[in-house]
């Protein structure tokens, strides 16, 4: 049962992520029949204002780091990646570790996973973070298993969430797990958010082209990305890269971490997402432009990789110059 909730703050703090934790655990909702929390805002120097990433806004913690030690939950509301090498943050990192060892649940929002990693909590565990920071987190903490697709990962006493608003999902999940669905649903209703979202942060990832040490392979990747509607074979791509098929396949896997077929499928789905957001094209037209050939094949791969159907994706993210379209093209 959650009773004592402590938020560990460091500079510069992210206001939205901090606000998410405050909204779920810091507001008194006992009049609604919900449990109250002993909510503590903690910093290395209580009473000293901490600057935020929002100009002109500071937050003053009223508790020191000792208030983490007997907490049931320690929340890390984001953490500036550059702070890992700042010795001033070592006391708060040590305090998070001590609280975890004492039995506290640690929940991270967005880049807060980096503080959990610095405290040694990610080693040998599954975790997630904002998709922009996945590579940095993996490089910094190679013993962690990072899932870049999900909204949050529950590892028992460690819960990590993806970017920004995914912290809402992680917090509500923890309330549901520890207190019950009724409490989670009631808090979600007050926040005017769904108590559980489907899909993951795969819905929000852009369409990047990996940088490669091989110039010819880099040029081939760029060409593939610009010609997704064409059908590509490994033999043709190897020839374009002036490599044998065996060398091309090996180099491609080493540079991108996947096979040409899987890379193409992923890029095609990402392009389909862009077309669903920005155009009124029907599903068959989108499938043709993205290189899938048929709407059925697009639906299959889209659902598998994004986690929701193209219809639902367009409903959530589709827009036009006149705002949200009132009569979108049917997409099956």
pLDDT tens for residues 194-251? 766 665 665 555 555 555 667 778 889 889 988 999 999 999 999 999 999 999 998 8
Q: Which residue has the tokens 């510069």?
A: 12
- Who wins on pLDDT, 205 or 93? 93
- pLDDT for the residue 332: 38
State how far the Cα of 153 lies from the Cα of 107, in Å rounded to an integer: 10
- Do 163 and 106 lie in one domain? The reply is yes
Q: Are 190 and 33 in contact (CB under 8 A)?
A: no
Taking residue 222's Cβ as centre, other Cβ atoms within 10 Å add up to: 12
| Residue finishing a domain among 146, 179, 202 | 202
- C-alpha distance across the termini of the chain, in Å: 46
Q: Please report, for residues 82, 88, 242, the alpha-carbon distance to residue 44 in angstroms, rounded to integers and kept in the order given.
A: 18, 9, 57
Domain that holds residue 252: 215-317
Q: What CATH number is associated with residue 306? A: 1.10.10.60
Within-domain flag for 250:
yes
| Ramachandran class of 40: left when φ > 0, alpha when ψ lies in -120 to 50, beta otherwise | beta
Residue 323, pLDDT above cutoff 60: no
pLDDT digits over 105-160, tens only?
999 999 999 999 999 999 999 999 998 899 999 999 999 999 988 889 999 999 99
- Say which range, 50-54, 90-94, 274-278, 320-324, has the weakest mean pLDDT: 320-324
Number of separate domains in the chain: 2
| Residue finishing a domain among 176, 202, 228 | 202
Within-domain flag for 332:
no
| Residue finishing a domain among 138, 173, 202 | 202
Please name the residue ranges forming H helices in 141-180.
Answer: 166-178
- Fill in the DSSP letter of residue 132: G
Q: How would residue 321 be classed by pLDDT, with cut points 50, 70 and 90?
A: very low
**Residue 320 phi/psi, 5° resolution?**
-135, 180
Within-domain flag for 331:
no
| Total-model pTM | 0.65
- pLDDT for the residue 182: 82
State how far the Cα of 252 lies from the Cα of 250, in Å rounded to an integer: 5
CA-wise closest residue to 65 among 56, 74, 57: 74
Query: Over the chain, what is the mean pLDDT?
Result: 87
Compute the half-sphere exposure of residue 190: CA atoms within 13 Å on the CB side of its CA: 18
**Residue 255 phi/psi, 5° resolution?**
-85, -35
Within-domain flag for 210:
no
Q: Please report, for residues 203, 233, 280, 305, the alpha-carbon distance to residue 309 in angstroms, rounded to integers and kept in the order given.
A: 11, 28, 16, 10
Residue 329, pLDDT above cutoff 70: no
Residue 32, pLDDT above cutoff 70: yes
- Do 121 and 220 lie in one domain? The reply is no
- Do 29 and 128 lie in one domain? The reply is yes
- Do 132 and 259 lie in one domain? The reply is no
- pLDDT for the residue 212: 63
- Do 162 and 100 lie in one domain? The reply is yes
Q: How would residue 48 be classed by pLDDT, with cut points 50, 70 and 90?
A: very high
Residue 6 in 3-state DSSP?
strand
- Do 103 and 226 lie in one domain? The reply is no
Mean pLDDT, rounded, for 64-71: 97
- Who wins on pLDDT, 256 or 35? 35
Within-domain flag for 207:
no
């Amino acid at each position: 049962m959650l009773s004592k909730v402590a938020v560990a703050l460091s500079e510069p703090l992210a206001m939205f992520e901090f606000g998410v934790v405050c909204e779920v655990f810091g507001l008194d909702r006992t009049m609604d029949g919900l449990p109250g929390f002993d909510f503590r805002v903690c910093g290395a120097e209580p009473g000293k204002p901490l600057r935020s990433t929002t100009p002109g806004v500071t937050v003053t913690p009223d508790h020191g780091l000792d208030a983490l030690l007997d907490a049931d939950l320690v929340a890390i509301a984001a953490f500036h990646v550059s702070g890992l090498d700042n010795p001033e943050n070592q006391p708060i990192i040590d305090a998070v570790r001590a609280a975890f060892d004492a039995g506290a649940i640690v929940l991270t929002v967005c880049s807060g996973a980096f503080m959990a990693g610095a405290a040694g909590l990610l080693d040998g565990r599954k975790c997630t973070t904002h998709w922009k920071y996945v590579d940095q987190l993996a490089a910094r903490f190679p013993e962690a298993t990072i899932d870049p697709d999900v909204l949050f990962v529950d590892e028992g006493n460690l819960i990590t969430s993806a970017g920004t608003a995914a912290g809402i999902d992680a917090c509500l999940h923890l309330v549901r797990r520890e207190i019950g669905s009724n409490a989670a649903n009631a808090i979600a209703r007050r926040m005017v958010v769904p108590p559980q979202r489907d899909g993951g942060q795969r819905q929000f990832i852009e369409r990047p082209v990996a940088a490669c040490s091989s110039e010819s392979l880099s040029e081939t990747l760029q060409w593939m990305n610009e010609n997704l509607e064409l059908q590509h074979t490994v033999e043709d791509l190897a020839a374009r890269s002036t490599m044998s098929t065996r060398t091309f396949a090996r180099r491609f896997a080493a540079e991108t971490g996947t096979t040409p077929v899987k890379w193409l499928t992923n890029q095609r789905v990402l392009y389909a997402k862009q077309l669903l957001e920005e155009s009124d094209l029907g599903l068959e037209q989108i499938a043709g432009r993205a290189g899938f050939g048929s709407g059925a094949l697009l639906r299959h791969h889209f659902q598998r990789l994004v986690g929701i159907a193209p219809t639902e994706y367009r409903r959530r993210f589709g827009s036009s110059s006149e705002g949200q379209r009132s009569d979108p093209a049917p997409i099956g």
